[in-house]
Structure 1
Amino acid sequence: MFFTQLYSILYKLGKGLPLRETAAFFYTTTCLIFPIIGYENYTQDNLLARAFIKYMIVKDDVYFGTALPAIASFVTVLTWPLSGKNGVNDFGEGLNRIVYHIKSGETDKHRIGILIILIGTFMSIISKYLPGGLGFVAILFYFSSFAGLLYLYYSKPSGYKYTFITLFLIFILSNALATGMFTIVAYMGITLFSFFFLGNKTSMFRKLAVVAIGVIFIFVLQASKGSFRQITMNTGYQGNRAMLFAELFMENLGKGTDLLQDEEFFPLYVRMNQGWNISLVMNRIPAVQPHDNGKELMTVVAASVVPRLFWPDKPMAGGKFNMKHYAGMTITDFSTNVGPLGEGYGSFGRLGAVIFMGVLAWFVRWAYNRVFQIAANIPLLICWLPVLFYQLTYSAETDTLQILNSIVKGSFFIWLLYKFRPDWFGVPKQSGVKKVNDNKKLWYN
């Protein structure tokens, strides 16, 4: 499964958008590959694993008896090829048509892209000062700035186009260094790279080299950010954060294969092994508490639809509640979660988890396919894929609520923007929503 997803990414890179395949690869890596490393290397006999209690809690046949079919269900459904209805797709000619019409359209992508980026940047700065509901809206505007980046990327050449793109990317990196949160750098970077690589006719070997460099970057980043956070947040560090991170990054990169030694690799193993959290759930349920038969997941579905204005104390995305409810662990000064697989098993058991993961993947694929169907009439909508599906990339380590929030609320947010500013989507404001019925007018014919 791991190598199948890797090949799918390599094959699709340059010809399509491997967003779903990347998410599937991440699920396979964190829920299957790293648990294997745990069972083989970081057992209870390992000093580090025993000291920090990071060995897999349940037996391997118990864990993989659920995880393997559940992840297989999720990956198979999620990456099932799109129908290509209306001549659009996320691969090949169907995608090339969309990109062609984005590039050749009369919309002032340069001006609109810069405007969206500026609004998103401003919102990211003030989001920390806003209450929950408004803060989430501000974050959606911030994510929208990456749609603006794609607008600018696909706009006609200008003297300062790439200068502005570079300045925005520097802001993103600076913000990550200031907060110690590198998730958006790593995973939004992966999402955007699939757009930037479109149209590149590169050999499989070169694409493999590019992916290998990307994987090494992610691994070294993960190995570096723990030390960075510890120094900057726990010691009152007052020096240059950019220089500090660069030193830590280069130090870890310089370790080369030594980074794979048990002691050096252990922090990365802890960070990437989502299976450990899931094993906590399997150890607790049903031995200590019964499966809740989806009670909490139903609340999660409702929470993704109902605004906080009408439900002030509704559940929040994040791991505190889930880790307590499903794994029996109280977390305070760090963030972790049981993931959708942990929720599925804690709710329904082994077979139920397999079905749940398949249903979740079906919903994500349906929403993803729906974007492409709408893009038959509104090609620029493709540039908003990062807003909707960026969080899917690393959702194996978050929760179902975050996935639903990203898609449901993100879709509503984009719909509102379309209603108020249709010109941002290449639709003249006075025309409103108009479905083209004359086949001669359909650009994909």
Structure 2
Amino acid sequence: MLENLQKEKGWIWILPATLLFIVAFGLQTWTSIGLAFTGFYVYRVILNMGHKIPIIDLMTALAALQWILGPYIDYHNDVTHFKYYMYVPEEQYMAYAVPAIIMFRLGTLFYKDESDLNAIGARVSHLLNSYPRLPYILVAAGLLIPYLNAFIPASLRFVFFLLANVKYVGAIYLLFSPSANRWAIFAGVMSFTALASIASGMFHDLLLWAMLTFTFVARELKLSMGSKLIIAILGMFLAITIQSVKHEYRTFLKNGYGGNKVSLFVGLATEQWSNGRIVNPSSDEDMNARLNQGWIISAVMKNIPEREPYAGGSTITEGITASLLPRFLAPNKKKAGGRDNFMRFTGLPLGENTSMGISLAGEGYANYGRWGGILFMFCWGLFVGWFWKKLSRWSYFYPTLLIWSPILFLQVIKAETEFVVVLNHLIKASVLVFGLLWFIKRQWRVRV
């Protein structure tokens, strides 16, 4: 860990940046540390794009943005949502959230990151020399699978949801190839995702895969730091635009809108830009609430143990059981979704068809309190770092395994999901991915 921490040279700038925030803006110590930490990891993600697969850095940056920056904005503006607001004082909240995310990252530093894209690129090139048709098969299969949903039993839909994501793996393979149509296919896959997101009103896949694939695009285009920064800013505005129109757009769909959905979405986005709500999201209480996941953690801190006792690790045990045991062996095992935990630990009601997660930090506090929750986040960091290290080691047997890692971490990198969701996804996706790699190797004698 000490060796890895020494290589994280940016950490030495967190202290002076913290002091600057305190002196210049009069911020509290934990708030200042949190903002400095957030800025460093956002910068680090952009810096490493094109050189590594920055899964853990991306997890850290997304959590910091939603658990630290979002709450900071909420504490320091005059807009207050009737429900989505910070339930405890800033000093109390930051004294838990900031150490929790720092300890998570420290836990991951016990294991070295070996996701060098140059080495991975050499392995992919060797693979494609042996079987150049593989990327096209993956793209075609991933594009076809969503159309089979109507014929798939509910119990298998999660598996087929994961299988549909192989189109991105195929597109990434193509980026490493000399194929003349590689960029056209990659753009086609991402355009298909954008159109599917607009048609359904669900934009998670588009945003997550845009972030997860950008590091491969940056490598192939050899983007400079300045270019990556500009693209990151544009991506941020895209995410804010989607968030600003999502609720109104879904309302149109719910009411049976039958026109052109792309035109509707673009029209709503244009309207948001013209009235200035996007460039000043803090003036819009709904918009501000969607940018801040810390309000849920603060609601947990307000409700536990005042109205609901600490869970004492029960939801963590349930999450492990639900992830490891199939339902026929544990018919009463916990279901993913977050609704029950949200209402239990925040004390807040939810609509019948609404589901919200309390996040790993919120669940850590609900089970173990402040210090126990911080320790839980450290242990989760240890596990994530160990798992990433194992993926690197298993790459000796499956040379392009890390190309598949975005599927493994698709739900894990999201800051709002709870323990049962992230662990369940990680384990089941791992079983599926290794099963696919075994099948490809056996069927076509290709060491993927």
TM-score, with length taken from structure 1:
0.85
CA contact (8 A) 2:142 2:166 kept: yes
- The 1:168/1:423 distance shift into structure 2, 3 A limit, reads farther
Partners of 1:4 and 1:338 in 2: how far apart? 25
Equivalent in the alignment of 1:38: 74
How far is the alpha carbon of 1:219 from its aligned partner? 1.4
Q: What is the distance in 2 between the residues matched to 1:390 and 1:425?
A: 27
CA deviations 1:288-319 (Å, max 9, x no partner) are 11101101110111111112233333222212
| Counterpart residue type for residue 83 of structure 1 | K
Check 1:256–1:379 CA distance in 2 against 1; reply closer, same or farther (3 A cut): farther
Correspondent of 1:150 among 155, 159, 172: 172
Alignment of 1:37-76 (within 5 A): 37-42=73-78, 46=79, 48-49=80-81, 52-76=82-106
Gap runs ≥5 in structure 1? 430-445
Pick one of 103, 110, 133 that aligns with 1:111: 133
CA contact (8 A) 1:112 1:148 kept: yes
| Percent of residue pairs bearing the same amino acid type | 27
CA deviations 1:14-47 (Å, max 9, x no partner) are 22222221211110010111111111115xxx4x
**Structure 1 position 338 matched with structure 2 position 358:** yes
- How far apart in 2 are the matches of 1:140 and 1:258? 33
> Matches of 2:220 and 2:178 in 1, distance apart?
17
Aligned positions of 1:95-134 closer than 5 A:
95-106=117-128, 110-127=132-149, 130-134=152-156
| Cα separation, 1, equivalents of 2:119 and 2:223 | 20
Task: Within 5 Å, give how 1:155-174 maps onto structure 2.
Answer: 155-158=177-180, 160-174=181-195
Of residues 340, 345, 348, the one that matches 1:329 is 348
Q: Does 1:362 align with 2:382?
A: yes
Aligned counterpart, 2:233: 212
Pairs within 5 Å for 1:237-276: 237-255=257-275, 259-260=279-280, 262-264=282-284, 266-276=285-295
**Greater CA drift, 267-276 or 297-306:** 267-276
Task: Say if 2:398 and 2:447, in contact at 8 Å, map to a contact too.
Answer: no
Contact 1:120–1:143, Cα closer than 8 Å, also in 2: yes
Q: Do the aligned partners of 1:367 and 1:407 also contact (CA within 8 Å) in 2?
A: no
- Matching of residue 297 in structure 1 with residue 333 in structure 2: no
State the shift of 1:179 in Å. Answer: 1.3
Letter in 2 for 1:74: F
Change (3 A) 1:426 1:16: farther
Q: Report the number of matched residues.
A: 411
Q: Is 1:21–2:57 an aligned residue pair?
A: yes
The 2-side partners of 1:286 and 1:424 are apart by 55
Q: Retained in 2: the 8 A contact 1:378–1:426? A: no
AA partner of residue 334 (structure 1): T
**Distance in structure 1 (CA, Å) of the matches to 2:112 and 2:234:** 32
Are the aligned partners of 1:98 and 1:376 in contact in 2 as well (CA < 8 Å)? no
Structure 2 letter corresponding to 1:252: Q
Q: Specify the alignment match of 1:136 in structure 2.
A: 158
Partner Cα separation in structure 2 for residue 193 and residue 208 of structure 1: 12
Secondary structure of the equivalent of 1:334? coil
Q: What corresponds to 1:83 in structure 2?
A: 112
CA displacement at 1:256 relative to structure 2: 5.3
Equivalent pair of 2:190/2:206 in contact (CA under 8 Å)? no
Question: 1:342-353 maps to which residues of 2 (within 5 A)?
Answer: 342-353=362-373
Once the 2 structures are TM-superposed, how far is the Cα of residue 224 of structure 1 from its aligned partner?
Answer: 1.9
| Per-residue Cα deviation, 1:112-146 (whole angstroms, up to 9, x for no partner) | 22222222233323336534431111111012222
Pairing 1:280–2:299 present: yes
CA RMSD for the aligned pairs? Answer: 2.4
- Alignment CA distance shift 1:387-1:262 (3 Å): closer
Runs of 4 or more, structure 1, over 6 Å off, are: none
